[in-house]
Chain A
């Protein structure tokens, strides 16, 4: 069965510092991988996705992620964090079947940004 692990429940960084959120997945075939962000009381917004090709994926809001098959990882990075990046971040893997795209989520990493 597919699974996603986000080892860090909560991360605190200072504004302007770099950020890396970790994600490890378990999936038998080539994975479709996603990062979503959720601000308090809001729905989920897609930051970026990996389907195939270049293993370094660029997303919105200055985020990027690197797919490493050998490490079963898809870590999210940002060179310089802004206060508005404070939110909860979810990594997900898609299990596709019969045309559907079922997402299996990690438990999330809450990001706090200090001024």
Chain B
């Protein structure tokens, strides 16, 4: 099925460990995004990539890095995980701004202990 695929779906990390969340879309979308969702906070933008080869910070970028590997893939890396990064992470993609709708993946539930 076409859409946004995130891996893994669940992950438990120890404080200080690193990991990369993977995201791929097969809709030929130009833009991709990483959001985090915390209880009572809605979703907040971490980083986004307007097009292949570009990345920009969102509202809450500290502690994260991203890579737009190609048009399909956009990864999010936690270099040294902290308990404050316990959250549900959503990857999303969109086509041309103004006419598209953003499509979300199913999320990755990350717990940092």
Contacts and interface: CB of A to CB of B under 8 A. Distances in A.
Interface residues of B, number: 31
Nearest to B45: A102
Interface of B: 30-31, 33, 35, 40-45, 48-51, 54, 56, 58, 90, 92, 94, 96-102, 104-107
A98 interface: yes
Interface string A1-19: 0001000010000000000
Nearest to A106: B42
Interface string A29-49: 000101000000011101001
A99 B31 contact: yes
B97 A103 contact: no
Contacts of A101: 31, 94, 97-98, 100, 102
Nearest to A44: B104
Contacts of A42: 106-107
Contact of B97 (A4, A34, A46, A100): A100
Nearest to B93: A101
A27 interface: no
Given A100-B48, A107-B40, 4 more contacts: A43-B106, A96-B98, A98-B54, A107-B42
Q: Which 4 A-B pairs have the closest CB atoms?
A: A105-B42, A100-B50, A96-B97, A100-B31
Interface residues of A, number: 26
A36 B42 CA distance: 11
11 contacts: A46-B102, A51-B98, A90-B43, A94-B97, A98-B51, A99-B31, A101-B31, A103-B33, A103-B35, A103-B45, A106-B42
A107 B101 contact: no
A101 B50 CA distance: 8
B109 to A, nearest CB: 9
A94 B31 CA distance: 13
B41 A107 contact: yes
Contacts of A99: 30-31, 50-51, 96-97
B19 to A, nearest CB: 20
